[in-house]
Amino acid sequence: MFLKKDNIQLGIILGLLAPFAGMLGFYFWRFRRLTIVEFIQFLAIEKHLISAMLSFSLLANAIVFTIYINTRKDKTARGIFAVTVIYAIGVLLLKLFY
């Protein structure tokens, strides 16, 4: 299975996909009665929820990172960490200036 590999490219891919899983988790946790389109429209109106959703998606990256660190897949964890740092900087800038 490709998830058992230990390389930076896999870490980058997982680091990019995990936030989307976190966003979906946030959607199902808080807004499951809305459709995805209604949820996106609601986020456009209630901008303060965007930072909460993005923070939740960073949590998903942290969980994936922890799993790969604990299984000693250090190269994959390094890729996840690199994407997480870039993503976190973006979230911080969004929170400061938006």
pLDDT tens-digit map of 5-28 = 889 999 999 999 999 999 999 999
Structural domain harbouring 46: 2-97
pLDDT tens-digit map of 39-61 = 999 988 988 888 888 888 999 99
First to last CA, the chain: 41
- Count the domains in the chain: 1
Q: pTM for this one?
A: 0.83
Residue 33's pLDDT band, with cuts at 50, 70 and 90, is: very high
3-state helix/strand/coil string of the chain: CHHHCCCHHHHHHHHHHHHHHHHHHHHHHHCCCCCHHHHHHHHHHCCHHHHHHHHHHHHHHHHHHHHHHHCCCHHHHHHHHHHHHHHHHHHHHHHHHC
**Residue appearing with tokens 């660190």:** 69
Percent of the chain scored above 90 by pLDDT? 65
